[in-house]
Structure 1
């Protein structure tokens, strides 16, 4: 593990004894924020294809997608173990039977885990029990990835997220009873959020024993989205790369020390975005974060002293 924060690739190697690669999987799902249940245009930042820039088309079966991805990755990286990543849109937003069948189809010999991206308002005992059954029957590990974006419920309303903080709390409480890992997705620089929101988001996530992993990324302005309209009209102001780095460092400091960072910055194709990572490669932003952690001589969990009765700790000394 990195001495400043826990890195996902190192966690995977430690867990499985070798490198493990994620294989993106698309299924013909959608989102309650797109099909009219909650809305039709989706979240203000979300493009027409969701987050699946590297995905194969959902017209291919899950087995075909996994086979094609393994054929591409295995010779290049000499990989032998993989995680099937149900990435795009809301992967629990379909009938329980259909959900179950897609999971079963992904349980192939070289697949050691299934990662399921979803929304906090699209999970309940029925879907969790299906995941538990697949884990027990096929011997795969399960990771559920929740899109939270921010703990600021007012910002969640502004970006038309369709849920607030309460649904995330409910989902994380429900999942505590199951032998799964969770990952929480956070956008660190939404225009209405401050450093206080960044810190509070880290603290709320860290307070859940069921929180294990984190994905951070900056706000992309994806073409033809509501956010792109706001940006074009000058209705929102984006933070600088330096401010993003400052927030990432603070988030890391307030994050529970046992948690794992899947990433500190994401990436999106240039042709799909008006703005992404200040025109820099994602690795440059990551390197800036690493350099700032080193400069401040700080690390993950450095400021995680707020849990387990902080105010009465003096009586235990």
Structure 2
């Protein structure tokens, strides 16, 4: 029984598979069209494309086998192959088929594929639907904000309609969806955050990853941050926005993440200098003390 004030992923996976399931991040060598088309990519995206925790010098299979071998020693026996770095649908379909196939090794029960909402063609969805016959498939889409002005400010290069369209087409195929949202973007209001939760609920998206905005070296955001052109909100504002988001989120949506993991090195700002577990504990404690829970204000 889940005693947390939100529907957490760890509990969901244990109930679904009968035992713990661990996510293993992969850098499969993908790039991102938004980085190479001359627009420069999202202003917060570090050079690794959020794959800074992965040894990209290893092959895909080596990355998986190395991490899985260590996890088996800790008593973990089921795994999610998580295609994390950059845009993991940015390749011809046959190449995608070969790469995804390589990740299906013993005890991998989920293919978890992260990408942009404007890189989800019907051919990609056809391919993902094929793989659902062998393993569970999760498609992760970066929404980040529902505010069109914010999307321009962070140089996302896609619109809200791209997200809605790709979500609807994926859901029509029965593919499990996870949306990414950054709740403390300086250009967003608290109402933008709560409306994002309501949209995710209305679209019947299965899961969310909530992120805390960090400032990594080598990014356009770092330049703006140093110049004083962008200011990150306070810790108290972040905590409140997370809770407001959860209150307006349907209680059945699975919360995959509440706080980001900034890069270990080269971070100008990250999580107010606190550990991820400390922030998680602060969020849970705030919800419990204030009597707030996921879905308590949902439509």
Match of 2:231 among 228, 237, 251: 237
Contact 2:4 2:284 in 1 (8 A): no
Aligned with 2:36: secondary structure?
Answer: coil
1:142 pairs with 2:141? no
Structure 2: which 5+ runs fail to align? none
Q: CA RMSD in A?
A: 1.1
Matches for 1:1-317 after TM superposition, within 5 Å: 1-36=2-37, 39-57=38-56, 59-75=57-73, 77-136=74-133, 139-209=134-204, 211-305=205-299
Q: Deviations over 1:139-189 (max 9, x none)?
A: 200000001111111100111100011100011111122122111111111
- 1:310 maps to which residue? none
Q: CA deviation at 1:263?
A: 1.3
TM-score (norm 1): 0.92
Of the structure 1 ranges 217-226 and 64-73, higher mean CA displacement relative to structure 2 is found in 64-73
Distance in 2, matches of 1:247 and 1:5, equals 15
Contact 2:114 2:139 in 1 (8 A): yes
Distance in 1, matches of 2:71 and 2:61, equals 15
Aligned with 2:250: secondary structure?
Answer: coil
Aligned with 2:132: secondary structure?
Answer: helix
- 1:314 maps to which residue? none
Q: CA deviation at 1:270?
A: 3.8
Aligned with 1:101: secondary structure?
Answer: helix
Q: Who wins on radius of gyration, i.e. which is larger?
A: 1
Distance in 2, matches of 1:129 and 1:240, equals 44
Contact 2:93 2:124 in 1 (8 A): yes
TM-score (norm 2): 0.97
Of the structure 1 ranges 140-149 and 60-69, higher mean CA displacement relative to structure 2 is found in 60-69
Distance in 1, matches of 2:222 and 2:52, equals 18
Q: CA deviation at 1:134?
A: 1.8
Contact 2:181 2:208 in 1 (8 A): yes
